[in-house]
């Protein structure tokens, strides 16, 4: 019979809420999306106990609290009493599925990346041509234990944070690039959770993470308009082909060909993400000018130095309402100048 107020509660009703109703079931969000321990169904000839209903309620509450999804207030059934149908259970479960990529809060920032993320020596064209074109490349490799771990991390509200920074001085090129990098989604003295950044989230669909509405890859803060912003590319849409998810050109009249670009790809098994950031200077034909950038102090941990830098960190999902099932993650950084 249909689950309704005053009616008998059948095992098939309970099982529908747990896993058998397409999408609008608890396990579609709790287990498949977040990797949490699945709720068990009951025998179709068995009795649904107060403890089972309490587990179902608690799981709905945990999902809703994690997402900041509004649900109906209800009390857990009491053992040895008549259990009546609880209002809006199916509706609340369905809303949690719709909002499955939302996160009302996030966890700690992972900042223990390894390698080099900043230039402490000059960037420029070789052969003594200080006005020549150059490309600075920052490569960041993010590795999860497996594809499932990566998916659970992003689906639960975790995201990648990419920040740029430069303040070293000494050349004409420094002056222009300091201004340019300061105007894009750049970093600051400390890599905070909400500081300016390019962020790569779970999915291309629009979601709300700590009050920010994002789809795919988004730019937070800075000025100017990116020529490419990969809202269609979240982790779930990445492939083995490197796609450009962010590109912004300098707005200075003499430097409008210069740009910053980020590409993203993941390996065939889905557990390794590779981000390649390029700072490109097309050169300057004006006599007396210089496109060379001065190296500066290094960036370590979460503190920027003065040298040209691209730093990739991770914002982890919160771990109050959901358990950490994504495990250890590593970020390895390297730089090159051509």
- Give the least confident one: 3-17, 39-53, 145-159, 165-179: 3-17
Domain boundaries along the sequence of the chain: 11-98, 106-337
Main-chain phi, psi angles of 85, to 5 degrees: -60, 140
Checking if the pLDDT of 18 tops 70, the result is: yes
Binning the chain into helix, strand and coil, the percentages to the nearest 5 are 20, 25, 55
pLDDT at 125: 67
Query: What's the rounded Cα separation, in Å, for the pair 280 and 257?
Result: 8
- pLDDT of 240 over the 80 cut: yes
Q: With bands split at pLDDT 50, 70 and 90, how would you rate the model's confidence at 277?
A: very high
Q: Exposed e or buried b for every residue in 69-93, given b needs 16+ CB within 10 A?
A: bebeeeebbeeeeebeebeebeebb
Least confident of 80-94, 157-171, 285-299: 80-94
What share of the chain has pLDDT > 90, as a percent? 68
Q: What is the pLDDT of residue 12?
A: 86
3-state secondary structure of 155: helix
- Backbone phi, then psi, for 182, in 5-degree steps? -70, -20
- Predicted TM-score (pTM) of this structure: 0.91
Model confidence band, residue 269 (pLDDT cutoffs 50, 70, 90) = very high
What's the rounded Cα separation, in Å, for the pair 207 and 214?
Answer: 6
Is residue 256 classed as helix, strand or coil in its secondary structure? coil
């Amino acid at each position: 019979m249909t689950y309704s107020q005053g009616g008998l509660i059948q095992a098939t009703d309970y099982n529908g809420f747990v896993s058998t109703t397409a999408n609008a079931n608890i396990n579609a969000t709790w287990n498949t999306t977040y990797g949490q321990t699945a709720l068990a169904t009951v025998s179709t000839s068995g009795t649904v106990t107060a403890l089972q209903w309490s587990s179902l309620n608690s799981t709905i509450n945990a999902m809703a609290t994690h997402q900041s999804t509004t649900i109906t207030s209800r009390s857990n059934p009491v053992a040895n009493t008549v259990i009546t149908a609880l209002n809006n259970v199916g509706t609340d479960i369905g809303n949690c599925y719709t909002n499955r990529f939302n996160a009302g809060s996030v966890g700690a920032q992972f900042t223990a990346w390894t390698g080099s993320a900043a230039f402490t020596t000059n960037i420029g064209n070789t052969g003594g041509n200080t006005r020549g074109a150059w490309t600075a490349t920052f490569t960041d490799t993010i590795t999860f234990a497996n594809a499932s771990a990566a998916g659970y991390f992003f689906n639960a509200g975790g995201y990648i944070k990419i920040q740029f920074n430069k303040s070293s001085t000494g050349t004409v090129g420094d002056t222009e690039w300091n201004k340019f990098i300061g105007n894009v989604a750049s970093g600051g003295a400390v890599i905070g959770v909400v500081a300016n950044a390019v962020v790569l989230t779970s999915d291309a669909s629009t979601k709300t993470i700590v009050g920010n509405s994002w789809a795919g890859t988004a730019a937070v803060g800075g000025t100017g308009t990116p020529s490419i912003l990969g809202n269609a590319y979240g982790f779930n849409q990445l492939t083995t082909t490197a796609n450009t998810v962010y590109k912004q050109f300098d707005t200075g009249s003499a430097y409008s060909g210069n740009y910053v670009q980020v590409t993203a790809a993941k390996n065939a098994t889905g557990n390794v993400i590779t981000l390649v950031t390029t700072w490109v200077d097309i050169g300057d034909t004006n006599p007396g000018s210089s496109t060379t950038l001065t190296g500066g102090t290094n960036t370590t941990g979460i503190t920027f130095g003065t040298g040209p830098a691209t730093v990739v960190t991770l914002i982890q999902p919160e771990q109050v309402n959901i358990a950490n099932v994504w495990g250890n993650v590593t970020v390895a950084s390297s730089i090159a100048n051509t």
